[in-house]
Each structure stands twice: as structure tokens, then as C-alpha cells.
Chain A
């Protein structure tokens, strides 16, 4: 399967979709799939089949694919029982369908008979020239086509992260993060049993997909490890690839006469292969999403030198500790920058990195400081802490029985305006300088409607839920940039 395989276009950007095995029962997958496609704005024609005919969600249910006009649809979303699928796929192929997403269970996961059915499915796909994703998968999402052909929720906002997963529910997890953070998704696909189309096949497609800036994959078993990594290496040559691997602690330690062999656990070898192929390996689900979201929304750092700008001391100290444990470097504050900041700030600021403003900020301090810091030659990236604290107070004032009197209405509006402004200033300064500025506050999760995190979302960037997580994400960005620089690669 090559990256230029036009059948992937039928899967991700179909000109028409058939839901085979559509159901009138809202609890059935065959209903949910049709519902999710219709409810999320897919613009092409949508067809449905059902043994008993009728109308489902306003769509005429065909009793046979024979009723379908030739060429009207190139994707079939299969919710029929496995035994019905060979006939269905033949009929679909004859009508010009190029790709199928098969949700049906009863294949490789279901004993010897299921494995036989899966082999037959692959052989049939080859015979018909049909791209068959799944079986036993949860669906495909493609925001450029407003396509939500999946039996899980939610439908994520449009963005530049492309996801492929060996576990359908991780598609849902990453989509939940996308909805919550506002950092969107281009494509998402559950590989299911990956009988014919595997996670590396999807990543190949993402590598040349102009809608995609970064690929995010969840994998468990990697049966042909060397072939897997040879293909992934070709993808990382073009775009960052973030991988979350399940089953890392299962050991896989070999009984071996040699020390080297005894030390070669599955996870250590997998980890080395990731480093060699330039894969960004995530430690946790949130680390995986946040790394991908950072690649999708931030400029790449040119070096490891980090400045922390904070409105309070403790946050900066903890951020500095996290940087100290990472591959990043908390840069000593350059003398000329210190002198410039001295002119802007009252004397109680930290005069070092972290740049602790110590509550000394006035109306324009934060935009000005961010701008000066990010544009300094010796600084490669900035972590900004303290956004939203005034809006946090504003929230309490707004909820109190004193509101709106005693000047509360006015100060609440001022605080919220300021936090919105700071969030935009961070994004604008970062974009103008071509360097990352990551904004972190727990308000991103504890009060996402706070004007600070809400305004970060509006810039299209991720508001990191803690300084540690901003450091982790930035470390991934730097390690990726360093990998490319050492090998003179771009992407």
C-alpha cells in the first residue's frame, strides 16, 4: 500500500458514504454510525441499507446495494454481521466503492473460524481492489470532510493531529482531549484487527497528507518490529510521529545465556528503536496527546534554552525543577536582558530565571516581558505561568452577593479582559518570534471557562494543565528538533 494510494482518499474524503446494516434501534451500532455521520455535517450523500427497508433518521434504507446509483458513494461503513460481508463487499465494489470500514466483530478476535473469515476478508479485498480497514474497528473521522463515521463519541474540532490506533477507545480518548483543549484533529482511525490496513499504513498516508502536521499512534503488539520501524522511519522523515505503547511493563525478558540477551526486554528494544527512528515516545495518554498538540500548534525550538516567566515564585521553582530533570536547560538570565527588564520592573522581581515578576506587574508588563524574553537570542523557548489568577478572583467576585456593586463589575471585566489579552500576547509573541511559548495553569482543567485558559483555546493552542506537563511537551519538541538537526533532516 503506497502513500499515494487513492483509495485512502475514499476512506478519509469520500464523495458519498453507505452505512451498511443501518438500524432503526438507537442502541445499535448500525444506528449510531448513521446518526454520527448525519449529525456532524458531512456534506456528501449518505446512503443506508437495512434488510427490512424503511426510513432511518430521514434516510431511505435500501434493502439491497443494487438500488445504489453507480459511483454515488466510494466508502461503505459496514455494520452487518461478518457472514453477510463478502456478498456486501462484492456488491459495493461493483457500484464503484473503493474503501470499506468494517466494524463487524467475529473475525480474528473470535477463534479459528473468525481467523479464517479474516483471511477470506483480506483475500476478497485484494481481489476486489478494495481498501478494507478493520474489521472490529470503531470507525474513521476526517474533519476536512466533516466526516464522523464512528460508533464512538465525540467528534473532535478540526485541526492538524492525525491519529491511528490499535485500540478504538483510545481514538475516543484522544478526541475527548481534542474537544476539551480545542486543539483539533485532521484524521482519526481505529485500525481494529488491522487485517489488511495496519497502523503504519495509516501513518504512511498521514506523512503526505497536507491536512496533517503530526501523527499520533497507539500501539500494543508490534509483531514485525523491524519492518514496523523501517516504515515509521520514513514517516518521521516527513513529520513528527508520537507513539504511545501499551504493554510496556509486560517484560518479554528472554531466557538467555548472554547478559545482553537477558537485558533485551521488549520495552528496552522498542525504546531504542523509537529513538533510532526519531519517534516521539509518550509515557502516558495525556503526554501523548499534549506532545501531539504541541507539535501541531507551536513553532519548533532551535535549542534547549528555556526561560520561565511567572507571576509567582513557587510556580517558577517547580517549573525549574522539572526543567532540571529534563533534556532542557534553564538558561542563566543574560545580563543585557536583566538590564532591560530592570528598566521595566520594580526592584522586587527575581532578576534571574525563572523570571518571577513577584506581583510587580502593571497593565502592560506581561505582554512586554514575554516579547522581550522570547526575542532574546540566547532563549529558545518560554514557559509562561500565572495566567488566569486575576480572573479566578473575578469569578469569586462575580458569584458574590456584593456583585455588581462596590466597583466589582468593573474590576471583574478588567481582569477578564487582561487575562484574555495575555493569552493572545503569548501566542502572538511566539508566532512573531518563531519560538514556542507554552502557557501553563491548572485552571485549564479546574476552571476551563476562566478567561485565561479559555482565551488560550481561542488562539488554537494548548493551555497546559501544569508546568511539569508543559516541560514534558517542550522536551519532546526539543528532542525531535535535535534528532533532525543531528541528521540534517527537516520536517
Chain B
């Protein structure tokens, strides 16, 4: 079993129709600065690689970088923080997305039920609040709609703090895409998208992790 890097995970999701943040990879601080200029400030810079699972805990995510100097300093520090066991690493540069709401969605492989798809309220309290809903893969559109209705805090999917309501159809499409990915690619064992940030009502994947059972090459 192995995990895809964050960038590869998001590429896989994007190919299945999930909206992911428009991001760039770079190997050097110069490359990171060029990417940030191209994307526009403020940006996020992360260190990522197939062996790095818990970036936040290791301080490998730098948020709200507002100029070239800050990006360069962050990129240098992150590359210096890479440990030998991290293997091949790269820098990931993405725009800071404005959005007050975070969602989580994913796929897990349950020992009794097999592949399951999940949606819930995301953010730092995700596991403490555990307002989530599961279904067995495959799901249909009605199942996906009902998963959203299961959430105790489903009111947060409505208009919220000056932001429009979450585009339910877009969110349902995400869940259907995850179900389809899990159903048709038996090599995909688990998917974790945490968080989706809701931008103008649409969920955009900001961080993602895909676990593969075995991997020779990046899957299609």
C-alpha cells in the first residue's frame, strides 16, 4: 500500500471531475516565487511528497504569504525541513482561497462493508464534532443528496456569513465522482479530501490524499 503525493492525489481527483485548487509545483525557491507571481498573492506554500502524510503537524504548510520575500523564505525553510525518509519532495504553491466554510469528503475501505464514501463538515474540529455521513459505494444522486441531509449542521450549507449557499449539485457531483473512482479503480483504497473550501458556493479541494493498494505508475 502506498500514498500518492498531494499534487498527484489532486491531479487524480481533477481527472475525475473534482474541482481542485489551481496550484503549481516547484523544486526550488526561485520556481516557487515565479509560481506565486503567476497565481497572484496571497499564496500557500507546502512541502509535499509521497511519504509526507501529516504536513500540518510537521509545520510543512505556510499560509497567507503576501509577497515574493515571504514566499522565498518559506520555500527555503520547507526544503531545509525535508528529512531523508521523506524521499523525493517538491514545493506546492497555491492561492489562498477565501471561504468561511470547510467540508471533508473521502473514501474508506471498511473491513465489513468494503468501499464507503463520506461527506462531513471539515476544518480543525472535524474529528471532534464528527458530523459526517457514510454510504456504501456505489451511490446514486439520491443517496448523495440524502448524505447532505444527514448532517446535523446542514444549515451551514445554506447562505452563511455573507457567502452564498453551497452549490448542492456541485457537492453531490463530488460525492458521485468519489464513488465512481472507488468503484472503477480497485487500486484506490482510500481518498481523503480535507478540506474542501467553499468558494462562491462551490467546493474546491485544497488538500487531498489518495491511498493506493499497489502502484507502479500514477493511475488514470
- On A, residues with C-beta under 8 Å from B are 222-226, 229, 254, 256-264, 266, 268-273, 275-276, 486-487
In the complex where A269-B110, A275-B146, A276-B143 touch, is A260 in contact with B190 (Cβ < 8 A)?
yes
A sample of 8 cross-chain residue pairs with beta-carbon separation below 8 angstroms, ordered by A number, consists of A226-B113, A260-B105, A260-B118, A260-B190, A260-B194, A271-B134, A275-B150, A276-B136
Q: Annotate B138-169 by CB proximity to A: 1 below 8 A, 0 otherwise.
A: 01001100110010000000000000000000
Residues A272 and B108 in contact, CB atoms below 8 Å apart: no
Residues B104 and A264 in contact, CB atoms below 8 Å apart: no
B contact residues around A259 at 8 Å (CB)? 104, 106, 126-127, 192, 194
Residues A260 and B104 in contact, CB atoms below 8 Å apart: yes
Q: How far is the CB of B114 from chain A (nearest CB, A)?
A: 5
Question: Max chain A CB contacts within 10 Å: which of B114, B143, B150, B192?
Answer: B192
Residues B132 and A263 in contact, CB atoms below 8 Å apart: yes
Query: Could you say which of B53, B113, B118, B146 contacts A263, with CB atoms under 8 Å apart?
Result: B118
Residues A268 and B112 in contact, CB atoms below 8 Å apart: no
How far is it, in angstroms, between the C-alpha of A257 and the C-alpha of B192 when the chains are bound? 9
Does B202 have its Cβ within 8 Å of any Cβ on chain A?
Answer: no
Residues B108 and A258 in contact, CB atoms below 8 Å apart: yes
Residues A268 and B127 in contact, CB atoms below 8 Å apart: no
B contact residues around A268 at 8 Å (CB)? 130, 132-134
In the complex where A264-B134, A276-B136 touch, is A224 in contact with B112 (Cβ < 8 A)?
yes
B contact residues around A224 at 8 Å (CB)? 112
B contact residues around A226 at 8 Å (CB)? 112-114, 136
Sorting the interface of chain B by its residue count into under 10, 10 to 19, 20 to 34 or 35 or more gives 35 or more
Residues A263 and B110 in contact, CB atoms below 8 Å apart: no
Q: How far is the CB of B2 from chain A (nearest CB, A)?
A: 11
Residues A258 and B142 in contact, CB atoms below 8 Å apart: no
Residues B142 and A273 in contact, CB atoms below 8 Å apart: no
Does B29 have its Cβ within 8 Å of any Cβ on chain A?
Answer: no
Does B209 have its Cβ within 8 Å of any Cβ on chain A?
Answer: yes
Does B6 have its Cβ within 8 Å of any Cβ on chain A?
Answer: no
How many A-B pairs fall under 8 Å by CB? 94
Q: How far is the CB of B56 from chain A (nearest CB, A)?
A: 12
Residues A260 and B107 in contact, CB atoms below 8 Å apart: yes
In the complex where A226-B112, A264-B118 touch, is A258 in contact with B136 (Cβ < 8 A)?
no
A contact residues around B134 at 8 Å (CB)? 264, 268-269, 271-273
Residues B133 and A261 in contact, CB atoms below 8 Å apart: no
Q: How far is the CB of B18 from chain A (nearest CB, A)?
A: 14
How far is it, in angstroms, between the C-alpha of A266 and the C-alpha of B116 when the chains are bound? 12
In the complex where A259-B104, A264-B134 touch, is A225 in contact with B110 (Cβ < 8 A)?
yes
How far is it, in angstroms, between the C-alpha of A223 and the C-alpha of B146 when the chains are bound? 26
Residues A276 and B192 in contact, CB atoms below 8 Å apart: no
A contact residues around B142 at 8 Å (CB)? 486-487
Does B191 have its Cβ within 8 Å of any Cβ on chain A?
Answer: yes
How far is it, in angstroms, between the C-alpha of A229 and the C-alpha of B116 when the chains are bound? 13
Q: How far is the CB of A255 from chain B (nearest CB, A)?
A: 12
Does B5 have its Cβ within 8 Å of any Cβ on chain A?
Answer: no
Does B120 have its Cβ within 8 Å of any Cβ on chain A?
Answer: yes
Residues A257 and B143 in contact, CB atoms below 8 Å apart: no
B contact residues around A256 at 8 Å (CB)? 108, 190
Q: How far is the CB of B165 from chain A (nearest CB, A)?
A: 21
Residues A257 and B150 in contact, CB atoms below 8 Å apart: no
In the complex where A229-B136, A258-B192, A275-B150 touch, is A222 in contact with B112 (Cβ < 8 A)?
yes
- B136 nearest CB neighbor, chain A only: A273
Does B135 have its Cβ within 8 Å of any Cβ on chain A?
Answer: yes
B contact residues around A229 at 8 Å (CB)? 113, 136
- A273 nearest CB neighbor, chain B only: B136
How far is it, in angstroms, between the C-alpha of A229 and the C-alpha of B132 when the chains are bound? 20
Residues B139 and A276 in contact, CB atoms below 8 Å apart: yes
Does B90 have its Cβ within 8 Å of any Cβ on chain A?
Answer: no
